[in-house]
A and B are shown apart, each in its own frame.
Chain A
Amino acid sequence: MSEARRREEIAPGDDLHPGDPVVIDRYTTDARVNHWLTAASLVLLALSGLALFHPSLYFLTALFGGGQLTRAIHPWLGVFLFVGYVGLFFRFWKVNLWTPTDGSWLAKLHEFLTGHEENMPEVGRYNFAQKTVFWFMGLFILVMIGTGLVIWDQYFGSWSTVEQKRIAVLIHSMCAIVMICIVIVHVYGALWARGTMTAMLKGRVTGGWAWRHHRKWLRELAADKADRGSTTPAE
């Protein structure tokens, strides 16, 4: 195995601390702050957007100080989300690239869903499903910011025709629904696999968690540690 090959699943800031249990730094403080600010803006966007999507949810505008403020804040939250996701994208795009393992992982998706992860191929920092969430969120956020600017009447009202705005608002609402679905899957996945929330809350996971869910990543981390440990005494 070449050095380059071994390290491709490791993101900047990942580190392994031997012990009982093995502790691994999965997300840096910066990455977690970035993630939670993005997540918060997405939740607020969903609430304010749904308020204007259906009259039965209009009461949600009260959370934002009324209809006028909801209308005014929503696009700015969108800009905030976009910037936040750009940050996450540049942090993690490399470890979300497609690898051949993803194909064989997908072929055994039923094993994963029925809880037989031991029959799955070893995966790196992210499995196929996580990568799908990553890329699709990015894609949909691009569509959302694009269509959102078209219907941001306050500043861009004169930039497009009414017909273009109609198309944009329809795409915007449909993609929002898909995004909410992706978020539900994302949150459910994090809750379903125990020990995952600590990754994003405290930045750390245990070695057993990595062994179970991301063994290829664990191997690379251990090998990387050994490489670096060869010049300095192991702790």
Chain B
Amino acid sequence: MFPPLPNPSTRPGPPRFGEQDLIRRSASEVTPPAVRQTAVAKLIDTSKCIGCKACQSACLEWNDLRDEVGVNTGVYENPHDLTPASLTLMRFSEWENPETLNLEWLIRKDGCMHCEDPGCLKACPAPGAIVQYSNGIVDFVHENCIGCGYCIKGCPFNIPRISKTDHTAYKCTLCSDRVAVGQGPACAKACPTQAIVFGTKDEMKQHAAGRIADLKSRGYDQAGLYDPPGVGGTHVMYVLHHADKPEIYSGLAKDPKISPLVDIWKGVSRWAGFAAVGAVAAISVVHSVVAGRSRVSRADEENAEQLVDRELAGRSVGPPRGSPGDGDGSREHAP
């Protein structure tokens, strides 16, 4: 058992991290702090989860959120998906193990994974709407959020949700406000089986290693830690009994990474775009300098008058003076 975080002192003190600890800020450049904080992580042990949803309740309670009352469609998920109010959700899947023919009930607490390489932050166009602290927490700053939904496109886990009320994006904060005063996340605090534990990332990996050894000794050969390298590792990790098949846990991504479409959109397309617009503008300027302006001359006006007069005087006169290509002075290009 991993020792629960002791309750911190109730005396007010300075927050343990803040603005000065930002390592990334959406749509802006930050100077990373010289000293990085110790990376924190939440470890979710699916083999210990009993599906009680105490974590969901604690999340609603601590964040003072109330989801709409939904409808029962005969499944255990409640609500049916993550919402702007439900920042975490127990997902239940019934899986028949082809080797043992046992029915396994796989329960996974879904929510933000706090990627080391956060796709949401990279996709975000609003300066400072998404920040990443040096301890690994990725947080949304609501007053800077414009509700465009780009974070949803950037996220490899399909986590952020846009509120229809205040039109900003919501996701798990890893209880950044609690962590800042030395507490663990509300969900971890509430979990009755210690399926959710919180500490430094190294501690969590170590703890996970012990759990995995235990699972392997009990026949779960493929038990393992889910800390996907495609997103640089995550600050929310899972212990899975079937780590070789994360997708059986209600579609947990097998090898998540930021979509190449997002990379192109946020990378080469910007520079190619600016280059294209700049090139067309430059060509226009060069053309105006080289070719000069195209002016209508007095002779053009006279030619037009003659053409009109001829037409109005009698329809069947021969070709008018100055048919194309005869090069008379009337169509001379003005300088």
Contacts and interface: CB of A to CB of B under 8 A. Distances in A.
B304 A58 contact: no
Interface in A109-148: 113-122
A106 interface: no
B214 interface: no
Contacts of B274: 54
Interface string B292-335: 11111111111111011101100100000000110100011100
Given A121-B324, A185-B280, A208-B300, A162 B269 contact: no
Nearest to B329: A118
Contacts of A81: none
B62 interface: no
Nearest to B154: A166
Contacts of A121: 324
A207 B125 contact: no
B148 A71 contact: yes
A67 B147 CA distance: 9
B261 interface: yes
A211 B146 contact: no
Given A16-B308, A162-B153, A184-B280, A52 B148 contact: yes
Interface stretch (A27-35, A83-91, A189-197): A189-197
Contacts of A225: 308, 311-312
Nearest to A166: B261
Interface stretch (A7-15, A36-44, A92-100, A168-176): A168-176
Contacts of B155: 162
Interface stretch (B69-77, B231-239, B281-289): B281-289
A68 interface: yes
A20 B147 contact: no
Contacts of A52: 125, 146, 148, 150
B149 interface: yes
Interface residues of B, number: 63
B222 interface: no
A53 interface: yes
B265 A207 contact: no
A229 interface: yes
B126 A58 contact: yes
Given A151-B149, A166-B261, A211 B304 contact: yes
Contact of A208 (B127, B287, B296): B296
B253 to A, nearest CB: 12
B146 A223 contact: no
Contacts of A118: 324-325, 327, 331-333
B287 A212 contact: no
Contact of A21 (B291, B301, B324): B301
Contact of A194 (B125, B262, B295): B295
B1 interface: no
B20 interface: no
Given A16-B308, A184-B280, A208-B301, A58 B27 contact: yes
Nearest to B265: A170
A192 B287 contact: yes
B277 interface: yes
B261 A207 contact: no
A114 B277 CA distance: 22
B38 interface: no
Interface string B129-161: 000000000000000111111101101001000
Given A118-B332, A194-B295, A226-B315, A166 B127 contact: no
A212 B308 contact: no
A22 B259 contact: no
Contacts of A194: 293-296
A153 B149 contact: yes
B146 A67 contact: yes
A86 B125 CA distance: 31
B296 A209 contact: yes
Contacts of B147: 68, 71-72, 153-154
Interface string A40-68: 00000000000111110010010000111
Interface string B69-96: 0000000000000000000000000000
B270 interface: yes
Nearest to A119: B325
Interface of A: 16, 18-22, 51-55, 58, 61, 66-68, 70-72, 113-122, 151, 153-154, 157, 162-163, 165-167, 169-170, 173-174, 176-178, 180-181, 184-185, 188, 192-195, 206-213, 215, 218-219, 222-223, 225-226, 229, 234
Please provide the 3 A-B residue pairs with the shortest distance between their CB atoms, ordered closest to farther. A207-B304, A208-B300, A208-B301
Given A177-B269, A185-B284, A219-B307, 4 more contacts: A53-B125, A184-B280, A208-B300, A218-B307
Interface of B: 27-28, 125-127, 144-150, 152-153, 155, 158, 162, 164, 167, 259, 261-262, 264-265, 269-270, 272-274, 276-277, 280-281, 284, 287-288, 291-305, 307-309, 311-312, 315, 324-325, 327, 331-333
